[in-house]
Amino acid sequence: MKIALAQQNYHIGNFTANTNKIISAIEEARKQGADLVVFSELSICGYPPRDFLEFDDFINQCNASIDLIRAHTRDIGVIIGAPVRNPVKEGKDLFNGAWLLYQGEIKGIAHKTCLPTYDVFDEYRYFEPAWEWNVLEFKGRRIALTICEDIWALSENPLYRISPMEQLIGQHPDIMINISASPFDYDHDEDRKEVVRANVLKYHLPMVYCNCVGSQTEIVFDGGSLIYNATGELIREAKYFEEDFMLVDLDASATVTGAGDTERRQLDKDMRVSKISDPEKIISYLTAENNIRQIYAALVLGIRDYFSKMGFTKAILGSSGGIDSAVTLAIACDALGAENVRAILMPSQFSTSHSVDDAVQLSKNLGNPYDIIPIKPVFDAFMDSLKPVFGDLPFSVAEENIQSRTRGNLVMAIANKFGYILLNTSNKSELATGYGTLYGDMAGGLSVLGDVYKMQVFALARFINRDKEIIPENIITKPPSAELRPGQKDSDSLPEYELLDKVLYQYIERRQGPQDLISMGIEEALVNRVLKLVNSNEYKRNQFCPIIRVSSKAFGVGRRMPIVGKYLS
């Protein structure tokens, strides 16, 4: 049997575009002689549709799209993902379904059993888990059809009570097909591949695994669809961070010589959580070349899709001569084209001349438009207006934040006037500790580096400069500073980033408590200080813009903490 695999980038709720894209791939599969073409999870409506699923009209449009696609299945089988109405009164109103279409008919539907409700996933909010499992017949083959999380229920300590494959294997399937919407993060890029292979080795069946690609607001899907033969050998692997189309003859691939490495790896339900526990290895892991390369690709895709799917074309940001804005600007120019990214340099009386020079040189290297707007006149006007209230009180954080908010107002004014979207430049280390000004440098329509630790920002800068100097060397090597008062450095308010990021990663990504961190040899006073900063600044992050997710635990929808809480604060 020849099976085509269509790894596509969908637009949530754009039924016309998604349906046309699917039909186009069906026609291509037919031309190439495929018997069956496979698409990803919820391909009809895009993943994750979230509360759109609560609208009956949304489900009706899903079904209308399926009817259009059915007309193109007269001589080719098609597996697509779409919601399914639950005919039983009890339970949720919908299933997450994988539909087998052929000869203009619905030949069968598999319902998703394992509904992830952790991190960015919230499927049990909308879907009823499957309560029956049946192999689907197609052209003499028996297909065990599952959806994404269904194949992760095979560890020694599973997250779910029921494994769909354990229910299906007794019906003697010939092949496993899994349609997926598995997000990217650098913490487990190999885990997905290992889970697919583990299923193959356990059940001694080939597997076709189709993942989606593209960014949906904050979540990036990296593709990397897979085809394994029954001996656990990888036959085909799709591209990462871009659409792809593959065709495989399973009858031919079943006889490929060489079984490869058939050793089974120990799996557990927390394999999506980083196992890097040694504090001395964390920074080298966070900044490893492979991780940084993937993060860069994910951020480019995240910006590009956010703009294209929202109908935006032009970005703007504040360019300070610091490393965060420099890396953000370089990535945005790659994603959108340098001519579509405008940098605004807003020096204050505390800005050093080399910061302005560095920012100007960066824009010249990138070829993007820039403007210089000194903020001292605006700052002075604020101070004159506030003089009757402030009196002779000494300079403090109030005056620092006025500068930051002045910059926010200026860049947003230009954005409003000319139709730009403001890219935020705050990094994860800053967001974690509250080192930022609400309505100032925390303003933005999309956060590019909000899931990237400061040490990773430095590594991204080096990656950007891998072939030639784009980001001026002085931006990379000078001590980080907000430049809101004379001689200010980030280290005046925060621990050195190399130490800070170790603590933050253990607490945020690995969910280690204070005693765990202290037992690793980290000073108790530092642990208590950093964790208090993280938890007491939740109110700031709650008002922040969407963050492109690249780690296993990003701020935003995947990390839900109370604002008013006493724990560790």
Determine if residue 322 is labeled as part of a ligand binding site.
Answer: yes
Q: Output the pLDDT for position 250.
A: 84
Supply the Cα-derived Rg of the chain in whole angstroms.
26
Q: How far is CA 522 from the centre of its chain?
A: 30
Q: How far is CA 494 from the centre of its chain?
A: 27
Amino acid at 262: T
For the chain, give every residue range classified as CATH 3.60.110.10: 2-253
Looking only at the bridges linking them, the beta strands covering 219-222 and 213-216 are antiparallel
Annotated catalytic residues are 41, 112, 148
3-state DSSP call for residue 81? strand
CB distance 248 to 236 below 8 Å: yes
Residue 319, burial from CB neighbour count under 10 angstroms (0-12, 13-18, 19+):
buried
Helices (H) then strands (E): counts for the chain: 18, 19
Cis peptide before 206 (omega within 30 of 0): no
Determine if residue 400 is labeled as part of a ligand binding site.
Answer: no
Sheet holding 234-237, edge to edge: 136-138, 141-147, 175-180, 207-211, 226-228, 234-237
Q: How far is CA 540 from the centre of its chain?
A: 21
Determine if residue 320 is labeled as part of a ligand binding site.
Answer: yes
Determine if residue 493 is labeled as part of a ligand binding site.
Answer: no
Q: Which residues pair with 105 in a beta bridge?
A: 102
Give the H/E segment covering residue 140: none
Measured N-to-C along each axis, helices 454-464 and 323-336 cross at an angle, to the nearest 10 degrees, of 50
Determine if residue 321 is labeled as part of a ligand binding site.
Answer: yes
Determine if residue 324 is labeled as part of a ligand binding site.
Answer: yes
For the chain, give every residue range classified as CATH 3.40.50.620: 288-489
Q: Output the pLDDT for position 474.
A: 95
Determine if residue 401 is labeled as part of a ligand binding site.
Answer: yes
Q: Output the pLDDT for position 270.
A: 59
Determine if residue 118 is labeled as part of a ligand binding site.
Answer: yes
Q: Output the pLDDT for position 263.
A: 59
Distance CA 197, CA 267 (A): 12
Give the H/E segment covering residue 520: none
Pick the closest to residue 484 from 380, 356, 347, 327 (CA basis). Answer: 347
Determine if residue 274 is labeled as part of a ligand binding site.
Answer: no
Query: What backbone phi and psi angles, to 5 degrees, belong to 378?
Result: -70, -45
Pick the closest to residue 65 from 13, 5, 126 (CA basis). Answer: 13
Determine if residue 316 is labeled as part of a ligand binding site.
Answer: no
Determine if residue 319 is labeled as part of a ligand binding site.
Answer: yes
Determine if residue 540 is labeled as part of a ligand binding site.
Answer: yes
Distance CA 7, CA 280 (A): 39
Longest CA–CA separation in the chain, Å = 87
> Domain 288-489 sits in which CATH superfamily?
HUPs (3.40.50.620)
User: Which CATH topology does 2-253 take?
Assistant: Nitrilase/N-carbamoyl-D-aminoacid amidohydrolase (3.60.110)
3-state DSSP call for residue 231? coil
* Residue 402 token pair: 């006025």
Distance CA 238, CA 241 (A): 10
Residue 323, burial from CB neighbour count under 10 angstroms (0-12, 13-18, 19+):
buried
**SS3 track for 408-461:** HHHHHHHHHHHCCEEEECCCHHHHHHCCCCCCCCCCCCEECCCCCCHHHHHHHH
Q: Output the pLDDT for position 492.
A: 79
Q: Give the pLDDT of the chain (569 residues) as one tens digit per residue.
A: 999 999 999 999 999 999 999 999 999 999 999 999 999 999 999 999 999 999 999 999 999 999 999 999 999 999 999 999 999 999 999 999 999 999 999 999 999 999 999 999 999 999 999 999 999 999 999 999 999 999 998 877 788 999 999 999 999 999 999 999 999 999 877 889 999 999 999 999 999 999 999 999 999 999 999 999 999 999 999 999 999 999 999 887 654 433 445 555 556 555 556 667 777 889 999 999 999 999 999 999 999 999 999 999 999 999 999 999 999 999 999 999 999 999 999 999 887 778 899 999 999 999 999 999 999 999 999 999 999 999 999 999 999 999 999 999 999 999 999 999 999 999 999 999 999 999 999 999 999 999 999 999 999 999 999 999 999 999 999 987 767 777 777 777 889 999 999 999 999 999 999 999 999 999 999 999 999 999 999 999 999 999 999 999 999 999 999 999 988 88
